[in-house]
Amino acid sequence: MPWCNCGLNDSALSLVAVDSASVPEAWNSAEQAVAVETRERISLREELAALADEWVAAAQNEQEKKALQATKEELLAALDEGK
């Protein structure tokens, strides 16, 4: 008897063993990257500052860089005030 009577038939479901040799290398690399990233904890402030720095670096012109830098500074100041 199923644990709930919801009308679903799960008799065709099964677990499949996966040979790690058959997993694409990109998946292994991505899995390792996630494992490394999860070991290092950074603050929200650091994460936002790094992201803003990336956007400033990728900006197409000086006006855009200045606007992004000003926005970054305002955002970080607001985060600091909220502590």
Q: Full-prediction pTM beyond 0.75? A: no
Q: What is the mean pLDDT of residues 55-77?
A: 96
Find where tokens 């929200």 sit: 44
Find where tokens 């400033």 sit: 56
- Domain spans of the chain? 20-81
Give 50's contacts (C-beta < 8 A, 6+ positions apart).
42
pLDDT of residue 41: 77
Q: Per-residue confidence at 15, pLDDT binned at 50, 70, 90?
A: very low
Q: Per-residue confidence at 36, pLDDT binned at 50, 70, 90?
A: low
pLDDT of residue 14: 46
